Structure 1
């Protein structure tokens, strides 16, 4: 890392202001695998962003911001014009936040790529200093530690009675034909005896919750949004897009025979299959005006540590000039996290749920000119520092369709929440 750091510093010091490009970047790489969470843990620059891809050996982390965009179409325009990457995403309610980071680290196939961005339209001395400070962060790492914290439950937005009432309202809307599906969620709050470091927590989740994306967004030191999600929003290579419908749930235990029985049941259960097909329907209908071709793959089962889901992958060829701004607006939030019809489901959730989802069930990822990768930010939590304690807000949701039983849906969200809760000791 010393060679990377010194090489970048020399590039930055040799830089002369240029009117030819709005952004200059300094880049270096070497064959090296770095624990990016250990690097992030040592840093004091914000915002911080982290994404460990689900299906490829790619992990990215970033510090700081050079340009900020609060509109996904403006973000897409910048990416297309400048051929530079942006990280960020959309909250559940579609509030966009994308930025060009000051420093971007990418672990790709055991090669570490480091890029520092310099804004030629800002004060030269200030930018040079900021870039030099960013380069020096490559020398700082803090060892990750296992999470062995005791936490106490301090609140829940819905107890079983409130949850049952929400579901009954949803079922009434479905019966009247206003909705086909709605995805209700709950927020549960815990307080720890000692501070919990979000990087330690996410590193532990990476070890336990395999087959997932792992993400972190910290806009400031006091609060981080973290999660380990099994669900892809979409990936794009040029004009080829792949998305998926992940909906329909069964349990996973330590008993392989029982798990196989649950898999067989899930594949043949009409209610779960209907729920999954509604997600497929919503995605395909929304994408139809923007694609030349779309195809739905056969159903399969994705097994996780606590639950297993039905999944149907969807392949699409986007029309020319269709890129991430359209894709994000069109797919998000999918029927897997909102419902169907999308707008009616979101309106129902806004008047029924008694909390702001914020980044929960939003989408986070990275967009480039020729490729993009976005996950669905479920199985997630906010970790907020409160003096010598930490407050953890954990979210979980369940898809409600005709035939849903409130108690069974309650048990489902409890199982989903346990993917993160099980990393802690509850008293």
Structure 2
């Protein structure tokens, strides 16, 4: 049997697409062989580029190129989802994210909200890989759409090995410095402040400068290899900046009207061996300060979900073990009312108490007033949305990569009993993984 290369197979399907088929959304697909999706992404010349994999074992990997349509508001995204759902047929996946605080100035090339319907989609699952070309005919000239699709196919490059990550010398600056951090923690834990705002999540930006910036895709690939049980994402909207990460925390996953979210807050280190590790986990679950931090998160989630749901159920507290730290987690399941959309959920749930604080508005007011670095998409939302299902992470454990700079972010929930030095060391533990990837830890 004669083998047809995947790009040629898609071109052939496009050439033979009948006029009667040119309606609504169409996905043309062919099987393909790919060794490494990030090696494929790194070889391309098209933008934007997006990588996404959920944290479950064996989850589908997605790598996307280009954009059929892009949306800089949840309202516009939801309108497009509804429009295609009304037309029927196959429904697309949209990929993107939102900033932590859309009311403040963020990163230059990352809008407050940005989701896209990709032009090219490469998916890999356990049964194999599929290369797809996405087309829209409900709101545009069919001839122009075909021309744009052909141009994107013609620009596709063969997968290449990722460049090696060579050791670099980095200059490091923490913002805020430890002295300023201690002052902010003292303000948050003052009884007068605790009386109206029991939790504020303070963050730190660790800025690394280097004469040569490593490939974000090579960096993410190495990071991913040591970050099991985490989400994995990479976003490159322009050639100048990238945002990558391996966050452990889910915002929510939705299948139809069933939603699952979680309260992930409260942190301790990993042990030297299994016995010490379990002892630290038991101490974490019994610790009043960490239990309070987790309680602040789940109580707000329950309060937010109850008006949107016919049924909400929360599981028992347990620990999640990551490479350098372990956290307290409680799973929450909800059955959503018929009319509850992703737009409604994303207007209500983020920023979660695990990255903002409680009550939300007074915690955000403190962050806006006292944090001098820009969080941008750090602690925001990142993932995949479709009509039938959605899967979104909280964008922590991440790196913002620009020309000659890598900015790492970590946060700590400050509540009654928080000690500045302990919280500062927790931040160090949270960025230890990526620091070690850079040859600095």
Answer whether contact 2:325 2:430 (CA < 8 A) is retained: yes
SS where residue 211 of structure 1 aligns?
coil
Q: For the structure 1 residues 176 and 247, does the alpha-carbon distance in structure 2 shift closer, same or farther, using more than 3 Å as the test?
A: closer
CA distance, structure 1, for counterparts of residue 184 and residue 269 of structure 2? 23
CA distance, structure 2, for counterparts of residue 118 and residue 10 of structure 1? 15
Q: For the structure 1 residues 185 and 356, does the alpha-carbon distance in structure 2 shift closer, same or farther, using more than 3 Å as the test?
A: same
Match of residue 264, structure 1, among 282, 296, 299: 282
What is the deviation of 1:253?
A: 4.2
What is the match of residue 418 of structure 2?
404
CA distance, structure 1, for counterparts of residue 186 and residue 368 of structure 2? 16
CA distance, structure 1, for counterparts of residue 27 and residue 99 of structure 2? 29
Q: For the structure 1 residues 303 and 321, does the alpha-carbon distance in structure 2 shift closer, same or farther, using more than 3 Å as the test?
A: same
SS where residue 173 of structure 2 aligns?
strand
For residues 36-185 of structure 1, the aligned pairs below 5 Å read 36-57=37-58, 58-82=60-84, 83-94=91-102, 95-120=112-137, 121-136=139-154, 139-172=157-190, 175-185=193-203
User: Please, which moves more after superposition, 321-330 or 211-220?
Assistant: 321-330
Answer whether contact 1:79 1:85 (CA < 8 A) is retained: no
CA distance, structure 1, for counterparts of residue 167 and residue 192 of structure 2? 42
CA distance, structure 2, for counterparts of residue 128 and residue 254 of structure 1? 58
What is the deviation of 1:401?
A: 0.6
What is the match of residue 11 of structure 1?
13
Answer whether contact 1:182 1:338 (CA < 8 A) is retained: yes
Q: CA RMSD in A?
A: 2.0
Q: For the structure 1 residues 2 and 398, does the alpha-carbon distance in structure 2 shift closer, same or farther, using more than 3 Å as the test?
A: farther
1:159-178 CA distances to partner (integer Å, 9 max, x unpaired)? Answer: 11010111112123764422
What is the deviation of 1:197?
A: 0.2
What is the deviation of 1:270?
A: 1.2
For residues 326-345 of structure 1, the aligned pairs below 5 Å read 326-345=344-363
Match of residue 394, structure 1, among 408, 411, 428: 408
SS where residue 80 of structure 1 aligns?
helix
What is the match of residue 28 of structure 1?
30
User: Please, which moves more after superposition, 232-241 or 124-133?
Assistant: 124-133
Q: For the structure 1 residues 240 and 190, does the alpha-carbon distance in structure 2 shift closer, same or farther, using more than 3 Å as the test?
A: same
Answer whether contact 1:34 1:107 (CA < 8 A) is retained: no
Answer whether contact 1:25 1:116 (CA < 8 A) is retained: yes
Answer whether contact 1:79 1:367 (CA < 8 A) is retained: no
User: Please, which moves more after superposition, 139-148 or 278-287?
Assistant: 139-148
Match of residue 304, structure 2, among 276, 280, 286: 286
Answer whether contact 1:33 1:110 (CA < 8 A) is retained: no
CA distance, structure 2, for counterparts of residue 257 and residue 202 of structure 1? 31
SS where residue 150 of structure 1 aligns?
coil
Note if 1:308 corresponds to 2:316.
no
CA distance, structure 2, for counterparts of residue 235 and residue 174 of structure 1? 38
Q: For the structure 1 residues 173 and 224, does the alpha-carbon distance in structure 2 shift closer, same or farther, using more than 3 Å as the test?
A: farther
CA distance, structure 2, for counterparts of residue 326 and residue 412 of structure 1? 34
What is the deviation of 1:148?
A: 3.3
CA distance, structure 1, for counterparts of residue 132 and residue 350 of structure 2? 29
SS where residue 422 of structure 1 aligns?
helix
Gaps of 5+ in 2: 85-90, 103-111
Answer whether contact 1:337 1:397 (CA < 8 A) is retained: yes
CA distance, structure 1, for counterparts of residue 374 and residue 15 of structure 2? 46
CA distance, structure 2, for counterparts of residue 300 and residue 271 of structure 1? 16
What is the deviation of 1:114?
A: 2.6
Judging by fraction of residues, say which structure has more strand: 1
How many aligned residue pairs are there?
Answer: 422
Answer whether contact 2:185 2:420 (CA < 8 A) is retained: yes
SS where residue 321 of structure 1 aligns?
coil
Answer whether contact 1:149 1:192 (CA < 8 A) is retained: no
Gaps of 5+ in 1: none
CA distance, structure 2, for counterparts of residue 37 and residue 2 of structure 1? 23
CA distance, structure 2, for counterparts of residue 310 and residue 2 of structure 1? 51
CA distance, structure 1, for counterparts of residue 427 and residue 22 of structure 2? 53
Q: TM-score, normalised by structure 1?
A: 0.93
SS where residue 149 of structure 1 aligns?
coil
Q: For the structure 1 residues 43 and 174, does the alpha-carbon distance in structure 2 shift closer, same or farther, using more than 3 Å as the test?
A: farther
CA distance, structure 2, for counterparts of residue 38 and residue 222 of structure 1? 18
What is the deviation of 1:151?
A: 3.3
What is the deviation of 1:56?
A: 4.4
Answer whether contact 1:150 1:426 (CA < 8 A) is retained: no
SS where residue 56 of structure 2 aligns?
coil
